[in-house]
């Protein structure tokens, strides 16, 4: 399997908020060279990255996030397109949000549309209906995440 990181040309550069807002909507797309990696390794690396943003009490003694957290979500293409088709929408801001349900911490994903200057549409269009999504599909749907589902993906 080959993976290719794709991003805007100025991502990761230490720009001021003002400069980032000014350039965000006019930047070129950059594609890193494709790399071959096993899905299990990728899943582990992403999990390690995510644990840097998780409260310590939500991480098991072995360094893995607690299973009830749920770290992977899937958003259907129809939902993404509906959000992106809104007037003045140029992208989506993605939040990881946590809340306690039945005495367990649950993680959720929230997608909010932003304009060309990276302002959330609901902040700049307070008189209009602005669609957002806070109900993605927990992935994989048959188990709580993080899971071992990547172990079952053939290396093709």
105 within some domain: yes
* Residue 116, domain extent: 39-132
**Contact between 123 and 60 (Cβ < 8 Å):** no
Residue 147's pLDDT is 44
Query: Average of pLDDT values for 49-54?
Result: 70
Strand partners, 109: 96
Distance (Å) of CA 49 to CA 1, 77, 108, 141: 21, 25, 17, 22
6 within some domain: no
Average pLDDT, the chain: 79
Query: Average of pLDDT values for 3-21?
Result: 88
8 within some domain: no
Domain tally for the chain? 1
pLDDT digits (tens, 9 = 90+) for 94-110: 988 777 777 776 777 88
117 within some domain: yes
Distance CA 48, CA 64 (A): 8
Is pLDDT above 60 for 53?
yes
- DSSP secondary structure string, 80-134? HHHHHTSTT--EEEEEEEEEEETTEEEEEEEEEEE-TTS-BHHHH-TTS----B-
155 within some domain: no
What the block records as the tokens of 22 is 């000014």
Residue 82's pLDDT is 96
What the block records as the tokens of 33 is 């060279």
What the block records as the tokens of 6 is 């794709």
Query: Average of pLDDT values for 30-58?
Result: 73
Compute the chain's Rg from CA coordinates.
18
Strand partners, 110: 95
Distance CA 38, CA 66 (A): 23
Distance CA 16, CA 153 (A): 41
64 within some domain: yes
45 within some domain: yes
Residue 39's pLDDT is 61
49 within some domain: yes
pLDDT band at 150 (very low <50, low <70, confident <90, very high): very low
């Amino acid at each position: 399997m080959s993976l290719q990181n794709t991003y805007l040309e100025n991502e990761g550069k230490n720009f001021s908020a003002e400069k980032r807002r000014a350039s965000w909507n006019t930047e070129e797309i950059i594609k890193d060279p494709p790399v071959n990696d096993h899905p299990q390794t990728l899943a582990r690396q992403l999990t390690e990255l995510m644990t840097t943003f998780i409260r310590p009490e939500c991480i098991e003694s072995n360094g893995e996030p607690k299973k009830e957290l749920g770290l992977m979500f899937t958003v259907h293409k129809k939902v993404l397109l509906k959000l992106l088709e809104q007037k003045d929408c140029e992208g989506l801001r993605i939040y990881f949000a946590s809340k306690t349900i039945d005495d367990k911490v649950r993680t959720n994903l929230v997608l909010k549309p932003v304009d060309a200057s990276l302002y959330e549409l609901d902040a700049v269009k307070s008189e209009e209906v602005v669609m957002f999504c806070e109900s993605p599909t927990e992935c994989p749907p048959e188990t709580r995440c993080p899971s071992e589902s990547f172990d079952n993906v053939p290396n093709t």
